[in-house]
């Protein structure tokens, strides 16, 4: 059959089944084929499929005259990299930006535009490293976060704007942001020198908590793994890998099809957790931030007893963990959130407008073996009074010799107030929740 005898609609359907580069090759056959292959409706589909573009834009979000011109500009801009890697990174950042725009727009405004090839080369020259391909492309799309010196030090009032987020317990506050290239150079030179790694170190500092509150992430440019420092970082250079090693591949292979280093895998996993509601933005007082305490089963427990709802979860704290201590190797922070149903506290057919905690019991397990059975008054020295519409939240921590472990227990409440009880005391269940060193460490 003579393909040129087919109608435009039929050819559009045929061409839409091709890859963009094949459609471009078809344009070389004849003038008529060139017209068919130049149909902007066809290229709008390619832009949508590959780049998630709904309008013709270049990589800096400038408008382009057509989808075909837009697609060509993107290919030319990233011609040094495998195209599947480029589209994958585009989806990663696109998902993160979309989530932030809806849930935490203040962080969106801190994300810098993509770095140029020259800026990446300047970092490599200055630090004497060669960044893995996936990390290079990640920074081509977004050059980390631009925070004020007050925000980065953690001294500014208002929200904590680290993209990775964090947690707090007692006086320990963590909120991790991604460093821009220029900051990576400064901090890597300073921290690597302080740790005594030498001038030929393959590590670069890519993320850190505001104020450098002892939580620092290092990318090893040689093996592509991302590491986080432990309690022994400053004395022994001790670190933990943040991503399963088996997933890392083709770090510097521009012709490969499965390039993925730990930075890309780490950010993709973070995006998935945000998008599926595993972690969320929380407001504590007047401050909002991304909180890493999980909010969904099975690593978050939920129990309701007589109208008292208790949600509990934990997060691994690598910066306070000590791999050299056999008895307290891993530290976990845990978050307990308790609230009273809108109907109040219900007992034996009666309803009370409040109840107050006066006792707790914790059963802590390590590898299914009870290692601690705690009974005592109050929680963190407080006797919270629960009333409808309010939530009491507290964080604490515990150390474990190995992983996994768990915590479960109960809070004893009195209907009414401790000073004016309205009924018999009852136990509100705290369903078991895990203490687990995860495959992905944030």
Give the chain's mean pLDDT. Answer: 90
CATH number, domain containing residue 44? 1.20.1280
Q: Are residues 424 and 311 in the same domain?
A: yes
- pLDDT category at 193 given cuts 50, 70, 90 is confident
Torsion of CA 101, 107, 108, 114, to 10 degrees: -150
Residue 11 has pLDDT above 60, yes or no: no
pLDDT score at 98: 97
The verdict on residue 286 lying in a domain is no
- pLDDT category at 42 given cuts 50, 70, 90 is confident
- Count of other CB atoms within 10 angstroms of residue 190: 11
Q: Are residues 219 and 144 in the same domain?
A: yes
Q: Which of 224, 249, 276 is the last residue of a domain?
A: 276
Residue 1 has pLDDT above 50, yes or no: no
Range from 40-44, 49-53, 159-163, 387-391 carrying the lowest mean pLDDT: 40-44
CA–CA separation, 23 and 38 (whole Å): 9
Q: Are residues 70 and 90 in the same domain?
A: no
Quick one: 375 exposed, middle or buried, by C-beta within 10 A (0-12, 13-18, 19+)? Answer: exposed
The verdict on residue 134 lying in a domain is yes
Q: What pLDDT digit, counting tens, does each position of 71-93 carry?
A: 999 999 999 999 999 999 999 99
410 φ, ψ (degrees, to nearest 5): -160, 150
Q: Are residues 71 and 97 in the same domain?
A: no
The verdict on residue 281 lying in a domain is no
Q: Are residues 257 and 152 in the same domain?
A: yes
Q: Are residues 161 and 230 in the same domain?
A: yes
The verdict on residue 322 lying in a domain is yes
Q: Are residues 314 and 377 in the same domain?
A: yes
Q: What pLDDT digit, counting tens, does each position of 309-365 carry?
A: 999 999 999 999 999 999 999 999 999 999 999 999 999 899 999 999 999 999 999
pLDDT score at 55: 94
120: tokens are 């990446």
Q: Are residues 98 and 154 in the same domain?
A: yes
Sheet with 308-316, strands from edge to edge, namely: 300-305, 308-316, 330-340, 391-400
CATH number, domain containing residue 389? 2.60.40.1470
Based on the structure, what is the number of domains in the chain? Answer: 3
Q: Which of 225, 251, 276 is the last residue of a domain?
A: 276
Q: Are residues 317 and 240 in the same domain?
A: no
Residue 215: closest CA among 263, 276, 154, 269: 154
Residue 36 has pLDDT above 50, yes or no: yes
Q: Are 404 and 370 in contact (CB under 8 A)?
A: no
H/E stretch holding 51 reads: helix 40-51
Q: Are residues 19 and 125 in the same domain?
A: no
Residue 432: closest CA among 325, 299, 245, 269: 299
Domain, as residue range, for 37: 3-78
CA–CA separation, 426 and 206 (whole Å): 49
The verdict on residue 314 lying in a domain is yes
% of the chain exceeding 70 in pLDDT? 88
CA–CA separation, 354 and 421 (whole Å): 10
- pLDDT category at 199 given cuts 50, 70, 90 is low
CA–CA separation, 36 and 280 (whole Å): 47
DSSP assignment letter at 118? H
Distances in Å between the Cα of 95 and the Cα atoms of 84, 108, 161, 296 are 17, 12, 18, 20
Could you tell me which residue, 21 or 67, shows the higher pLDDT? 67
Q: Are residues 297 and 235 in the same domain?
A: no
CATH number, domain containing residue 132? 3.40.1580.10
Residue 168: closest CA among 333, 382, 398: 333
The verdict on residue 57 lying in a domain is yes
The verdict on residue 282 lying in a domain is no
The verdict on residue 287 lying in a domain is no
Q: What pLDDT digit, counting tens, does each position of 100-127 carry?
A: 999 999 999 999 999 999 999 999 999 9
CA–CA separation, 403 and 219 (whole Å): 25
pLDDT score at 37: 57
Radius of gyration (C-alpha) of the chain in whole angstroms: 27
DSSP assignment letter at 105? H
Residue 277 has pLDDT above 70, yes or no: yes
DSSP lists the bridge partners of residue 121 as none
Could you tell me which residue, 319 or 6, shows the higher pLDDT? 319
Q: Are residues 121 and 136 in the same domain?
A: yes
């Amino acid at each position: 059959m003579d393909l040129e005898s087919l109608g435009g609609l039929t050819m559009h359907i045929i061409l839409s089944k091709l890859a963009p580069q094949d459609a471009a090759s078809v344009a070389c056959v004849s003038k008529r084929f060139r017209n068919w292959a130049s149909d902007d409706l066809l290229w709008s589909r390619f832009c949508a499929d590959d780049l998630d573009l709904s309008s013709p834009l270049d990589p800096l979000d400038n408008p382009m005259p057509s989808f075909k011109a837009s697609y060509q500009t993107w290919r030319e801009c990233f011609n040094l990299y495998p195209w599947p890697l480029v589209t994958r990174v585009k989806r990663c950042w696109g998902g993160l930006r979309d989530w932030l725009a809806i849930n935490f727009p203040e962080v969106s405004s801190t994300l810098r535009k993509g770095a140029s090839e020259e800026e990446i080369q300047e970092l490599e020259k200055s630090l004497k490293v060669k960044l893995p391909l996936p990390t290079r492309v990640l920074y081509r799309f977004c050059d980390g976060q631009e925070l004020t010196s007050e925000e980065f030090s953690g001294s500014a009032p208002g929200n904590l704007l680290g993209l990775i987020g964090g947690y707090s317990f007692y006086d320990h506050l963590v909120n991790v942001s991604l460093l821009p290239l220029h900051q990576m150079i400064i901090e890597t030179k300073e921290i690597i020198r302080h740790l005594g790694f030498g001038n030929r170190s393959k590590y670069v500092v890519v993320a850190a908590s505001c104020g450098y509150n002892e939580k620092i992430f290092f990318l090893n440019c040689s093996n592509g793994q991302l590491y986080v420092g432990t309690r022994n970082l400053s004395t022994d250079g001790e670190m933990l890998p943040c991503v399963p090693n088996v997933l890392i591949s083709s770090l510097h292979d521009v012709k490969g099809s499965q390039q993925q280093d730990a930075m890309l895998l780490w950010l993709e996993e973070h995006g998935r957790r945000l998008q599926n509601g595993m972690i969320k933005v929380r407001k504590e007082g007047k401050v909002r931030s991304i909180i890493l305490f999980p909010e969904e089963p099975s690593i978050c427990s939920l129990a309701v007893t007589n109208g008292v709802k208790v949600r509990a979860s934990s997060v691994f704290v690598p910066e306070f963990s000590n791999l050299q201590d056999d008895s307290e190797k891993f530290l976990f922070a845990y978050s307990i959130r308790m609230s009273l149903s809108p109907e109040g506290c219900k007992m034996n057919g009666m309803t009370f407008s409040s109840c107050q905690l006066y006792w707790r019991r914790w059963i802590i397990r390590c590898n299914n073996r009870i290692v601690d059975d705690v009974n005592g008054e109050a929680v963190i020295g407080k006797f919270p009074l629960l009333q409808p519409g309010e939530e009491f939240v507290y964080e604490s921590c515990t150390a474990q010799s190995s992983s996994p472990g768990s915590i479960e227990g109960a809070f004893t409440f009195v209907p009414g107030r401790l000073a004016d009880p309205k009924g018999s005391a009852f136990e509100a269940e705290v369903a078991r929740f895990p203490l687990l060193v995860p495959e992905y460490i944030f």
